[in-house]
Structure 1
Amino acid sequence: MKKSVFALVSSVAVLGTALAGCGGGQQATTTEQKPAENTGQTQQPAAAPAEKKPQVLKLNLHSEPPTADPGLSEDTTSAAIIRATFDGLTRIGPDNKPQPSVAESYELSEDMLTYTFKLRDTKWANGEPLTAHDFEYAWKRALDPNTASNYAYQLYYVKNGEAYNKGKASRDEVGVKALDDKTLEVKLENPTPFFLELTAFPTYFPVNKALLESNPKWAGEAKTHLGNGPFKMESWEHKSKLVLVKNENYWDKDSVKLDRIEFAMVEDENTELSMFENGEIDWAGAPTSALPTDAIPALKEQNKITTQPIAGTYWYKFNVEKPPFNNVKIRKAFAYAIDRQSLIDNILQTGQIPATGAVPPSMALKPDGYFKDNDVETAKKLLEEGMKELGISKLPPITLSYNTSEAHQKIAAAIQDQWKKNLGVEVKLENKEWKVYLEDMHQGNFQVGRMGWLGDFNDPINFLELYRDKDGGNNDTRWEHPKYKELLIKSNTESDPEARKKILAEAEQILMDEMPIMPIYFYTNSWVQKENVKGVVIGGLGDVDWKWASVE
């Protein structure tokens, strides 16, 4: 999933530390007073032990989460809040592997097509019992075409999931069924080795049917939001502040050390870093925000910065239905005419790798990539040929869109200059607030638009399947290719890992030959944190989990 807001992500938190309150219900004790030795004074009772101070973690989200509904989530900002407030059948642990969560155990059939999950006794944050029916309802709701979930395709691994989503099967034919309150049976289309990673993903989280049906806007306000995770939402001042508190009804509450997480929503990365340096927040930068690029050299020199490679790709999308990017040669010309390494050296500065393919290095199908970076001569030739094919002597106005962020702006400005220098093209830059930007991308209101993709699970198909269908929820390019689609479908039934890899590499070759997207670099996450913040889990896919975090 995971469109990233930056893929340098954004986080900030503004409010003061909570004060320890007076404890109640303590057993009264009496202390015998004895004369102090060699004095006429009375010895005072021993002081009571200091009361434990609440653990409060203060962060920044950079921007308003577009949603807190797991069935509608599609970006890293939303997912960070949802992972904190919900729990799936499985959860990715500190070792980056799925571990039992709401499901305490499971059985897998010999043909690897049927999972039978046994659920532990768990509750919603309001104390109501959570059952297998809540999972069945949530999955079928996400697949329901009326829900318009852009992540419905993540459930296509479930039997008849895609058919139901496309109106070719009934709801009852979808392969998920609550056999009783504590047993969930899942039938798959094909053996899916990474399925237990998927069940830790937001689209697979449960939702409360009664609440949703009584209030379709339940996920938009703290007072009506209801999850089953380590934390629950206490307040949400839109575009300003969001506060989570420990969920006392969480099944594994003893593992949760934080009492509160306070998020601010500050878009300016310099302000965020200043807040960190002033002690107003405990963490700045990824994975919920970004560090200001100008500050990175000094932070590196002071050994304050942490950098971690993640399975993600920063790319630009072309709208292939709008001229001139309805021409493949022009798309390739624009992709070849940028110097990726210079962007990394002069702007990003935290070890990113130039991307000449869609799939990141940790799961690469062709490690050397599919084209040459900064191939200006080929780019000029392709542009000339493409314009002749379109019958034009001059390109129409070109607009490059991105969501508000210092790093995105600097990258866009540098690429604007490179396109001007290398291709003689005039490009207008356009930035928008994240939620508006996402909607405009989905509606096709762009020519070239920035986006990032962080893996939802550790398999190349997750990066390639985005562009399988023209009307796919995350395919804003409007591109579709019959052979590409055929190869991805074929890969789902190929049991030989090496043969499957060759199929996917052939598909990625088509994607890069057609260039509906322009890969720019492979991500790293970089941040600064206070030394007393421990246990924050940042996965190899770039996701964050505060379940095990503490402030010592």
Structure 2
Amino acid sequence: MKKQRWLVLLTLVLAVSFVLAACGSNNNNSAANSGNEGSNTGSSNAGGEEKLAADQTLRINFAADVPTFDPAQAQDNQAHTALNLMYEGLVRVDENSKEVPGVAESWKSDSTGKIYTFQLRKDAKWSNGDPVTANDFVFAWQRVLDPKTQPAPAYAYQLYYLKNAQAYNEGKITDFSQVGVKAVDDYTLEVTLENTTPYFINLTSFYTYFPVHKSVADNDKWATDPSTMITNGPFTLTGLVTGQSMEFTKNPNYWDNKDIKLDKIKATVVNSAATEVLSYQSGELDRAGQPNGNIPADQIPILKDQFKDEFHIDPVASLYYYEFNTKAKPFDNAKIRKAFSMAIDRQSIVDNVTKAGQVPAFGLIPPGINGAEKSFREEYPEDYFKEDVTEAKKLLQEGMAEEGITSLPPITLTYNTDDNHKKIALAVTDMWKKNLGVDVKIENQEWGVFIKNRQSGDYQVARAGWVPDYNDPMTFIDMWTTQSGNNDIKLNDPTYDALVADAYKNSDNKARMEDFRKAEQILIGDQMGIMPIYYYTNPALIKPYLKGVTLDYSGSVDYSRAYLLEH
């Protein structure tokens, strides 16, 4: 019943966005910065007109430092939230989950749906006063795709929708003018796609598509020193103390400055969920909780009772899982990976550890992600595997026999520093000990180090989570292709790659969903490259005077249009 109620709620929240997304490219959702009419920022002044507080300084917490302020290198929720304050793409997504003009004041596509023409607004400026031009987008996108860019952008593949983008990124062609993006003039950008892509307009609101000022070519510190950052969004980064705080200040040169009510956003950087809640309770924070902060799981029942009107839990279409390094012993054996995944009790984890109404996950694609006619999960149930300790023990012995070993090597489960991640890790490793007789060491790592180690393959099992970049199964499926910069499990499966390639170019949406189903079968059913644990919810504490914060279907938060009422 719990799962059924959650699915009903998520379906209602997403009903409007699903219908819009099915209509075409101008109406898809994005995890980058979209809003959700079900988001909750507190109750308004009943029976009276809202009156803004004199001090428009929002106080929030980030659970970790932002690893990078470079849109080309970003790939996590911390950077996501910061970059959506500091930059703006061709479009943004409003509080109703609809694409609205950003730097582009209008756009149109040709009859094939492959060629888009964007007209840029002439009042869009960089924070230093320079105009934002079509050439700034060409420069930024070339920088993402350039094989010489280091580190290699993990999200380069998100631009493979452009004609010849993949060939350029892989060094097969060296002339960027052959890639499907060009500045017709300063305020006209023409984009040519490899294939018709219904959600392309939505993709342009994602941070990998943000423009970058050309001065970065001559400034090595442009993404680390706030005094040298030139951005084009509603806010600029004016303060940065690593491991302690960030400060964002309203950008007077932002074209829509009149609609930005906050003067400052002051963010602490504290990875203790308990400390974050204490700061909220003492009045030092206006909001506490995901995606950038956290709520201690063991405090949720108490907080729900103590803050009845301020505590909110929203279902979100995101996945919490563990990654197996398929190139590291002993997890280069699929049977051993399956044994570990089948030997845990997911319902016990969400009931006794996380305690925020999460739903056990047995697949990759969460409920609420679009399918052909309804949600993908409704069209294709999760039937790839079942929890079965007896079968898990059998598979473990078979896998060890295939490897010619009688005992497993030392195993370490790594997670980024966070109280809740630690509790989940302890619960999972206890289940592995009890059900498989395997001792697994747990190790926490600072966020930046953790991300780098996952990317480089310096791990055996690692905690992970995925927030969709747009509302289509592709955002979950294409990250595991051989060439994907997000393929931390090092999966290399030609059949999987071929299914993704077909889904990219196929205009038949039902056929695309069949490709996704087959790919999910390979990843979860055959390979067990990842161990799904649960689908997220978003628990948060929100002061009743905080308004205008939008939370989309994926759980991503946009503070850019927030404001504070008198209180």
What is the TM-score when the length of structure 1 is the normalising length? 0.89
Aligned mates of 1:119, 1:543 — CA distance in 2:
26
Please state if 1:358 is matched with 2:382. Answer: no
Please state if 1:475 is matched with 2:487. Answer: yes
SS at match of 1:130: coil
* Conserved 8 A contact 1:60-1:288: yes
Equivalent runs, 1:260-279 vs 2, <5 Å = 260-279=264-283
Please state if 1:113 is matched with 2:114. Answer: yes
Letter in 2 for 1:62: A
State the 1:52 CA deviation.
7.1
State the 1:51 CA deviation.
12
Match of 2:140 in 1: 138
Unmatched runs of 5 consecutive residues or more in structure 1 = 4-49
Unmatched runs of 5 consecutive residues or more in structure 2 = 1-29, 33-50, 370-375
Identity %: 46
* Conserved 8 A contact 2:31-2:552: no
Aligned mates of 2:188, 2:522 — CA distance in 1:
43
SS at match of 2:423: helix
* 1:290 pairs with one of 290, 294, 304: 294
Match of 1:428 in 2: 441
Over residues 476-509 of structure 1, what are the superposed CA-to-partner deviations in whole Å (9 max), with x where a residue is unaligned? 1111111111111011122222121112101111
* Conserved 8 A contact 1:347-1:410: yes
Please state if 1:82 is matched with 2:83. Answer: yes
Aligned mates of 1:52, 1:424 — CA distance in 2:
59
Letter in 2 for 1:176: V
Match of 1:345 in 2: 351
Aligned mates of 1:504, 1:222 — CA distance in 2:
42
* 1:314 pairs with one of 320, 326, 330: 320
Equivalent residue pairs, number: 504
Letter in 2 for 1:472: S
Equivalent runs, 1:6-405 vs 2, <5 Å = 53-121=54-122, 122-147=124-149, 148-170=152-174, 171-209=176-214, 211-302=215-306, 303=308, 304-363=310-369, 364-365=376-377, 367-405=380-418
Larger RCO: 1 or 2 (CA < 8 Å, sep 6+): 2
Match of 1:45 in 2: none
Aligned mates of 1:300, 1:435 — CA distance in 2:
32
SS at match of 2:351: helix
Aligned mates of 2:341, 2:479 — CA distance in 1:
19
Aligned mates of 1:128, 1:349 — CA distance in 2:
49
Letter in 1 for 2:501: I
Aligned mates of 2:431, 2:52 — CA distance in 1:
60
Over residues 33-91 of structure 1, what are the superposed CA-to-partner deviations in whole Å (9 max), with x where a residue is unaligned? xxxxxxxxxxxxxxxxx997230100001111001111111101011000001000000
* Conserved 8 A contact 1:402-1:432: yes
Letter in 1 for 2:238: E
Aligned mates of 2:383, 2:233 — CA distance in 1:
42
Aligned mates of 1:116, 1:220 — CA distance in 2:
33
* Conserved 8 A contact 1:340-1:373: no
* Conserved 8 A contact 2:297-2:356: no
State the 1:368 CA deviation.
2.8
* Conserved 8 A contact 1:2-1:76: no
Aligned mates of 2:52, 2:272 — CA distance in 1:
37
Change (3 A) 1:368 1:88: same
* Conserved 8 A contact 1:2-1:453: no
Letter in 1 for 2:322: Y
* Conserved 8 A contact 1:2-1:74: no
State the 1:416 CA deviation.
0.4
Aligned mates of 1:164, 1:462 — CA distance in 2:
22
* Conserved 8 A contact 2:384-2:521: no
Match of 2:539 in 1: 526
* Conserved 8 A contact 2:234-2:251: yes
Letter in 2 for 1:151: Y
Aligned mates of 2:161, 2:322 — CA distance in 1:
28
Over residues 125-156 of structure 1, what are the superposed CA-to-partner deviations in whole Å (9 max), with x where a residue is unaligned? 11111100000100110011122111101000
State the Cα RMSD in Å. 1.6
Over residues 281-337 of structure 1, what are the superposed CA-to-partner deviations in whole Å (9 max), with x where a residue is unaligned? 111111211101111011122324211111211111111111111100000000111
State the 1:217 CA deviation.
2.3
Over residues 202-221 of structure 1, what are the superposed CA-to-partner deviations in whole Å (9 max), with x where a residue is unaligned? 00000001x21111220112
* Conserved 8 A contact 1:59-1:264: yes
Letter in 2 for 1:460: P
Letter in 2 for 1:83: N
Greater CA radius of gyration, 1 or 2?
A: 1
* Conserved 8 A contact 1:399-1:428: yes
State the 1:451 CA deviation.
0.8
Match of 2:26 in 1: none
Aligned mates of 1:184, 1:2 — CA distance in 2:
24
Letter in 2 for 1:220: T
State the 1:367 CA deviation.
4.6
Aligned mates of 1:326, 1:151 — CA distance in 2:
25
SS at match of 1:218: coil
* 1:495 pairs with one of 507, 511, 514: 507
State the 1:372 CA deviation.
4.3
Match of 1:14 in 2: none
- Which has a greater percent of helix? 2
SS at match of 1:79: helix
SS at match of 1:223: helix
Over residues 510-543 of structure 1, what are the superposed CA-to-partner deviations in whole Å (9 max), with x where a residue is unaligned? 1111111111111111100111000101111222
Aligned mates of 1:405, 1:362 — CA distance in 2:
27
* Conserved 8 A contact 1:255-1:547: no
Aligned mates of 1:51, 1:205 — CA distance in 2:
31
* Conserved 8 A contact 1:132-1:184: yes
* Conserved 8 A contact 1:361-1:367: no
State the 1:373 CA deviation.
4.3
* Conserved 8 A contact 1:88-1:204: yes
Over residues 80-126 of structure 1, what are the superposed CA-to-partner deviations in whole Å (9 max), with x where a residue is unaligned? 00000100000011011221111000110100000000000210011
Match of 1:544 in 2: 557
SS at match of 1:523: strand
* Conserved 8 A contact 1:2-1:75: no
SS at match of 1:472: coil
SS at match of 1:123: coil
Letter in 2 for 1:250: Y
Aligned mates of 1:538, 1:399 — CA distance in 2:
35
State the 1:2 CA deviation.
8.1
